[in-house]
Amino acid sequence: MQSVLLLAVLAAFPIDADAPLDGGSIDVEAAVAPIDGGVTAARDAGVAVVEAKVTAAVEAGPVPARALVKFGGKVLARGTRRPLVGALVRVGVGDGTTAETETKAGGVFSVEVLPGKHNLRVQCPGHAPTSRDVTVMVDTSDYTVRLEPRTRGERYETIVTAEPRPEPMVPLRREELVRTAGSLGDPIRVIESLPGVAQSTWPLPFYAIRGANPGNTGFFIDGVRAPALFHFALGPSVLHPFFIEDLQFYPGGYPVTYGRYVSGIVAAQTATPTADRLHVSADVRLFDAGGIVAAPWDKGKGTVAVAGRYSYTGFLLSAFSNAYALDYWDYQIRADHTLGPGKLTLFVFGSGDDLRQKDPDRTDWGVPGQPVDIDPGRAKLTFHRAQLRWDGRLARGRLTAAVVGGIDDSTVSITSLFSVPVGSRMLTLAPRLAERWRLARWLDLDVGADAELQRARPSSLMKVLGGVLASLYTTDLFRDRTAYSAGAYVALTLRAGDRLVVGPGLRYDGYFEQGVERYAPSPRLQVRYRVGAQDWLKLAAGQFSQMPSLPVGVPGFESFGLADYGLQRSRQASLGIESALEERLGIDLNLDASLFYQRLHLADLRNSLIPDPQMPDLLEPREGESYGVEFLLRRPMRHNLYGWLAYTLSRSLRVVDGIIVPSDWDQRHILNLVVGYRWPRNYSTSVRFHYNSGRPYPLYNERANDVEGYIRLPGFPQLDLRADKRFLFDTFVLDAYLELVNSTLSREVFDVKRQASGAITENYYRLVLPSVGVHVEW
Amino acid sequence: MSSRSPALLLAPLLLGACLEEGPPPAGVHLFHSQKLAAPGFIDVAGETMVRFQERTAPATGSRGGVSDLWLTSFDGSRQRKIVANWSDYWGGEQGPFNVGDRYFMVDERLTKSEGGMARVATLVRLGPTLEEEFRLDGIWVWQRFTVPLSTLFAEPLPGQTCPGFPQLDHDCPQLLYERPALPGQKYPTLYLWNGEQDLIVGEDSGSFQSQIMGNGTIYFIRGESRMLTRLVRPANLVESLRANVSRFSVSGDEHYAALAISEEGKSKTVVRDLRTGAEMDLARPNPSAWGGFGDGVFAYAQNATETEPAELHVLDLDTGEDRFETLPSPLANLAGVLDRPNSDERLLLDSLGQGVFTGKNDLVGRRTLVGPLYMPSFTKDGSYLMYITPAAATLFDTTPKGPLMCQDAELEASAVMVSPPGLLVSADRQSYFFTEGDAGPVLVFWARLGRASSDLYFADYAPGVPPTNLRLIAKAIFSVSVSTHTLFGIINVSQQDGVGDLVLRDIDRGTDILYSHAVADASELAGPDLATSYAAYIVRGRVDSARSGLWLTTLAPPTGPDGGRD
């Protein structure tokens, strides 16, 4: 693709002092390798680039006339067995000269040398060089060299990136994702440490982003909209951690390629399975165990990866709780194969949660003589998604065509959660088409369309009983229904020199449900303007729309009430600055600070204390707004000491009964400090300190049988600790880690009441989540 | 644009406008506070005023909730605090301002007493214009009553008025009250306040058990000896009647008293002739319940046992003969009697909620209803028995509740569920009644789905047929007054906030006049028409706002109603 650069930045590429390369000089350093023929002056992009130049040193002296033999093999990374392409292989020929070559695809190298004993030196960016003597007497083609990856020292990254996009976004790389303390090694939970994210009650994975409801944030996996991205309770994400390559977090102002959410977007990309060989990895944690198998097929034209995870928290919970047992599982399958000028990808994933009451309340649900035959005391949430996608070059652009099918199935019959049993089964079909053209060096064009068809078959007590109850109380959420939503978009990315990037876009969505149709234009504008050598101003504004939604995502309970509640809408604007502070401070730090404002029209929970989905007044449309400032100071992960400081000061407001009041999610202050350090011998540690101020909560006075007023729940400080150790073997890697989340046993207060005695009682969790894990990768 | 948003630079710059509040409440904003409750109307010296209370402190472990009580004129120009620091410990949380109420306990505090700290307060009485009349300090329990003027003055003078109340000349306010036992005293002291002065009646036994007769005579149990004592007025003569009494009931003519006696480690019930001192034992010495005196007899009951049925006893006070009849099985006792209209039957109910039909003049069981029957009542024509049958308790709702049932009184058919299946009707208070509609009786009841607020239903009743034409009148009601054509009150209540919409609903047309959102409490003053009818109501948002407080409106349509949400 024209716009993609490979910037191999090898600026130091030091020669290990323990293994000096004698007899020659290396005038290193990097290579600029074009992808898809597009080469852009990397220096202009502010990245140091040096040209590669390897000079063979020639020793003086006569050369014996003997027959040469071939000496070849592979250069692999130690542990992972990853073939290292571009590694420099130098070997003495035996005649006073030195043969040298670079490894090709598959890490393969081959040189010709005289029979005898020679010195072999191999070096590759990001790995410790090696020097050894080898004896070559006959043709050899299977000699294997394993280079140990560097894990500390000031490292240089290989960054594959597009040219700067204008959307405000926080990109996170894999190592940050899995090694940040507090996330339990779960990549997607890292977002709770980012600016603009309020977690309603730790450890529940309900994230209110920039003051909207948690259900207003969309989760996408390889472009597939997931109905939920987290298992409930302890809340690991529904993807195996090592299946995720990277993550983009858009707290607002997301690009037009995404739609139908009024708040932020979390987009995860899965890793393309490597085509070189079979890979197997397995991990065992305190809560669950999982694994991935990836292998090439059809002579490397295709790859397939299968991952799965199963928790045994039911067993663990049994040790602590007489009331509940909990299990969850998830799986992922990804298969790729070249097809024409592109690649066809099948991606299937699914998730299940099962919470069981050990001694459930047997109830006739208030209907004498008519017990409802529903398995009591159980909450089961499952969903499955399958996407078939083709990516490739077409019509002088890059085309993505995909279709997604899905099944959601959820039932809840725990009276302590909901007063009567509910369930829903939903089928989803979602086609998608997107094309990107580079029309000029300064202009990109994105055009696309996507749609989603959902058929829901909910079950509820009303349906069972029918009659007056059904006619009076059945809300649209519990009616058999079909919902359509579709959108099309066009967006431009204009680059005026190296100072200005402007991204105007327009998305237009239509929604069809409950016998009505609603249309929503969503104009968006993103601008980045370089005001200094390393300082960018960024501005984003846009309008967004969404079907009415529950406050948190529940598979099967989507796309309802379009006539009853109308569309959810938001208008967002943010203005910020992005600065690299290295030149000013002498420390490699990046500052990102933004002001944001959102005007909201949402389907809000009317009663967050008893969020029973069957209540006729479960939701009500409310106006709202949120505004604040987000601050992110980040030290890149290429340093031994890395991490970030994130702080959000914000307000989230709603018009409730005509009066402007703080919303249920309003956390004024959110602070996250993440510090990681890589120690020698493949040790690393990470610490996370989190603090959020309390959200408003109704103080119920049991004596007066009334709400006495609203108070703020206490703030929640949390200290998380994590230590990792990597053991490298020739053919496999073993990672072990120990993590303590909320190591100081801080109290998370989730409910307060004034008892009849007058005393205020606080209901709280005081949890520490220890985790010990082992990950083996072969 | 909102005034609370100095930091919203981006909103007007990029998006045009900030968040705005909804339509304002209707009427006049009389008093601003976030902590108001219990609005109402009260006549003060011929002027109707609005009363309300302002909570100043919530109840704590050692103190009741504290409020100030206020009055305001309709235009808000005259407002005054009539009681400061009223404690709800003695009076409940709601409504100290019932018509005729003039007594308030204020300045609650703890004081040293024998046996520890005692909770006392100052009793304040207000006069007709709600000005303070007097205070009694340091009391912990009290009982107010009135007695005829003649019981205070053997020979009243012409124009004689009640002591302390020159405007009253018939029923004279009196108070019986106690102060806690001081250190060194074993029992608290019982006082009588006659309107002008306190009389020390004596040591109370600690139970504050008294019976005040129409002639002003007071019976109570005194001191260590648990002596049944009589205070005779107007002479204020104290007479000792019987020791070792733990409970008593005096007949209306004061000839007899039923006494629970505890002597020598044994207890029994006797009937004592107060004139002669003679005592009669009962056939069942420790009956389960006393039925009381009447027509020369004393009635009492004995619960059923595993082997014997329940008994109803009648002791003839003249002859001492103790006769009894057994209650029909399976009644465990007699907890209530419902006469069936238009028949010779009655329904006997026991405390377990079981019912047996008998003749009105006998105890012969005719038909049995296996309960429990909560809140039973007959339709006016006697054809049906309405009741609530209990549903299973759930983890979060252990209150008695269940579907509303209709059972034909002859038990020829199975009971019919009147409330929509799946809905629950509260059985810990009256949750249904009949009212007269244009075409006959209308059944009114309120029922809820799960843990939601109750919804209001109507159903038509025609004799001989269970209620039909069930219809939903209002959702999530809080407090409403209802006729067959209109409903006034707070509906659409949010359980999270405890507030709802104040509306006047035309039930026939299905239209609403909306007065305000976020209404926590309201009271109606009915007039001949809407323009002369008033509503006083409390607006309470989640946070204090310019709208918080007491509002007053006529029920005539306010300007620009924005409609209800239902």
Identity of residue A485: S
Mutate to test the interface with B, among A469, A660, A705 (most CBs of B within 10 A): A660
DSSP per position, A62-83: -------EEEEEEEEETTT--B
Q: What is d(CA A732, CA B13) in angstroms, rounded to the nearest whole number?
A: 57
pLDDT at residue B182, as a whole number: 86
pLDDT the model gives residue B563: 40
Interchain proximity B11–A469, CB inside 8 Å: no
Residue B545's contacts (CB-CB under 8 Å, 6 or more residues apart) are: A659, A660, A661, B21
Over range B144-152, report the average pLDDT. 88
Please check the confidence at residue A363 and state whether its pLDDT lies above 70: no
Domains by residue range for chain A, with CATH: 4-147 (2.60.40.10), 265-777 (2.40.170.20)
Q: Is the pLDDT of residue A59 over 80?
A: no
**Other beta carbons within 10 Å of A358:** 12
Average pLDDT estimate for A81-101: 85
Return residues 337-396 of B near A (CB < 8 Å).
389, 391-392, 394-396
CA B470-B472-B477 angle, to 5 degrees, is: 135
**Strand positions, DSSP E, A636-747:** 641-656, 659-662, 669-679, 683-692, 696-701, 706-712, 716-728, 733-741
In this predicted structure, the answer to whether residue B137 has a pLDDT above a threshold of 60 is: yes
Residues of chain A neighbouring B15 (CB-CB closer than 8 A): 541, 571, 573, 597, 599
Residue A283 banded pLDDT, cuts 50, 70, 90: confident
Longest dimension (CA), chain B: 98
Q: Which residue has the higher pLDDT, A446 or A105?
A: A446
B247-299 per-position pLDDT tens digit: 999 999 999 999 999 998 899 999 999 999 999 999 999 998 898 998 899 99
Closest-CA distance of chain B to residue A704, Å: 6
The rounded distance, in Å, linking the Cα atoms of A412 and A27 is: 67
Q: Is the pLDDT of residue B7 over 60?
A: no
Q: Check residue A38 and give its pLDDT.
A: 32
Distance between alpha carbon B133 and the CA centroid of its chain, in Å?
27
Q: How far is A660 from chain B (nearest CA, A)?
A: 6
A623–B542 C-beta distance less than 8 A: no
Beta-carbon contacts of residue A470 (< 8 Å; ≥ 6 apart): A462, A463
Average pLDDT over residues B158-184: 88
Give how far B421 is from chain A: nearest CA, Å.
6
E strands, B233-373, where? 237-242, 245-250, 256-263, 266-273, 279-281, 289-294, 297-302, 311-316, 322-326, 336-339, 345-349, 355-359, 365-369
Quote the CA–CA distance of A537 and A549 in Å, as a whole number.
34
- A655-683 pLDDT, tens per residue? 999 999 999 999 999 999 999 998 988 89
Describe the strand order of the beta sheet including B237-242 as a list of residue ranges. Answer: B210-212, B218-222, B227-232, B237-242
Inspect the interface and report whether the beta carbons of A660 and B4 lie closer than 8 Å. Answer: yes
pLDDT at B130: 87
Q: Tens digit of pLDDT for each residue in A533-582?
A: 889 999 999 999 999 999 888 888 999 999 999 999 999 999 999 999 88
pLDDT > 80? residue A229: yes
- Give contacts of A659 with chain B, Cβ < 8 Å: 21-22, 517-518, 541-543, 545, 547
Per-residue pLDDT, A361: 55
Contacts of B19 in chain A (CB under 8 A): 599, 623-625, 653, 655, 660
Binning pLDDT at 50, 70 and 90, where does residue A156 land?
very low
Tell me whether A656 touches chain B (CB under 8 Å): yes
Task: Determine what percent of chain A is predicted with pLDDT higher than 90.
Answer: 45
Give buried/exposed letters for B314-330 (b at 16+ CB in 10 A, else e).
Answer: bbebeeeebebeebbeb
Residue B169's pLDDT band, with cuts at 50, 70 and 90, is confident
Three-state DSSP at A461 gives helix
Strand extents, DSSP E, A148-263 = 158-162, 170-172, 197-199, 207-209, 218-221, 224-225, 244-250
Digit-coded pLDDT (tens) for A690-710? 999 999 999 988 877 788 889
Mean pLDDT along residues B427-451: 88
Strands, sheet with B266-273, edge to edge from the N-terminal-most edge strand: B245-250, B256-263, B266-273, B279-281
Instruction: State pLDDT tens for residues A639-656.
Output: 889 999 999 999 999 999
Residue A163's pLDDT band (boundaries 50, 70, 90)?
low
Q: φ, ψ for residue A727 (rounded to 5)?
A: -105, 120
Write out residues 30-49 of B within 8 Å (CB-CB) of A: 34-35
Q: Tell me the β-bridge partners of B418.
A: none
Q: What is the mean pLDDT of chain B?
A: 88
* Angstroms from A702 CA to nearest CA on chain B: 10
B residues 182-211 lying closer than 8 A (beta carbon) to A: none
**B430 in helix, strand or coil?**
coil
CA distances from A657 to A598, A748, B5, B476 (A): 20, 29, 20, 15
Tokens describing residue A278 = 């079979």
Residue B420 has pLDDT above 70, yes or no: yes
**Rounded Cα–Cα distance for residues B391 and B448 (Å):** 13
How, if at all, do strands A568-580 and A590-605 pair?
antiparallel
pLDDT of residue B246 exceeding 60, the answer is: yes
Per-residue pLDDT tens digits for B336-385: 899 999 999 999 999 888 999 999 988 899 999 987 899 999 999 999 99
Cβ contact A519:A547 at 8 Å = no
* A359 and B CB contact within 8 Å: no
Q: Which residue has the tokens 């991606």?
A: A347
Residue of A595, A615, A623 lying closest to B9 (CB–CB): A595
Is residue B178 pLDDT above 80, yes or no? Answer: yes
Among B5, B67, B445, B451, the strongest candidate for a mutation testing the A interface, having the largest count of A CBs within 10 A, is: B451
Could you tell me which residues come within 8 angstroms of residue A610 by beta carbon, excluding any fewer than 6 positions away?
A: B451, B452, B495
User: What is the arithmetic mean of pLDDT over B312-325?
Assistant: 94
Q: Is B129 on the interface with A (CB under 8 A)?
A: no
Q: Which residue has the higher pLDDT, A325 or A124?
A: A124
CA distance B164 to B177: 17
Q: Cα A683 vs. chain centroid, distance in angstroms?
A: 24
Q: Choose the weakest-confidence range: A444-448, A722-726, A758-762, B16-20.
A: B16-20
CA-nearest residue to B64 within chain A is: A758
Q: Sort out which chain A residues have CB atoms less than 8 A from B420's CB and list them.
A: 467-469, 472-473
Q: Over the stretch A265-281, which tens digit does the pLDDT of each residue have?
A: 999 888 888 777 888 88
Chain A residues whose CB is inside 8 A of the B20 CB are: 623, 655
Copy the structure tokens of residue A648: 């959000």
Tokens of A83: 């073939």
- pLDDT at residue B355, as a whole number: 94
- The per-residue pLDDT for A47 is 31
- Closest CB to A363 among B13, B394, B421: B394
Number of CB pairs, chain A paired with chain B, less than 8 A apart = 215
pLDDT at position A498 is: 86
Asked if B422 lies within 8 A of A420 by C-beta distance, the reply is yes
Residue whose C-alpha is closest to residue A335's, from A296, A309, A279, A308: A296
pLDDT averaged over every residue in chain A: 82
Average pLDDT over residues A178-199: 84
Residue pLDDT, tens place only, B91-136: 743 344 554 567 889 999 999 988 888 999 999 988 888 888 889 9
Measured between beta carbons, the chain A residues lying within 8 angstroms of B545 are: 659-661
Longest dimension (CA), chain A: 107
Given a cut of 70, whether residue A153 has pLDDT beyond it is: no
A312 backbone φψ class: left, alpha, beta (φ>0; ψ -120 to 50): alpha
Q: What is the pLDDT of residue B4?
A: 45
Question: Measured between beta carbons, which residues in chain A are less than 8 angstroms from residue B392?
Answer: 361-364, 366
Closest alpha carbon to A716 in A741, A734, A690? A690
Q: Is A658–B21 a contact, with Cβ atoms under 8 angstroms apart?
A: yes
Determine the Cα–Cα distance for residues B365 and B380; give it in Å rounded to an integer. Answer: 23
Residue A564 backbone phi and psi in degrees, to 5: -70, -45
CB contact under 8 A, A617 and B450: no
Express each pLDDT in A587-609 by its tens digit.
889 999 999 999 999 999 888 87
Question: Which tops the pLDDT comparison, A40 or A215?
Answer: A215
Per CB-CB distance under 8 Å, the chain A contacts of B54 are none
With b meaning 16 or more CB within 10 Å and e meaning fewer, what string describes A605-635? bbbbbbbbbbbbbbbbbbbbbbbbbbbbbbb
**In the prediction, which pLDDT does B559 show?**
55
Tell me, yes or no, if A525 comes closer than 8 A to chain B by beta carbon: no
Hey, which residues does A145 pair with through a beta bridge?
A75
Q: How far apart are CA A295 and CA A290, in angstroms?
A: 17
Mean pLDDT lowest among A408-412, A771-775, B389-393: B389-393
Cross-strand partners of A631: A593, A647
CB contacts of B499 in chain A (<8 Å) are: 657
Give me the residue label for tokens 């295709």: A302
pLDDT score recorded for residue A371: 42
Å from B395 to nearest chain A CA? 6
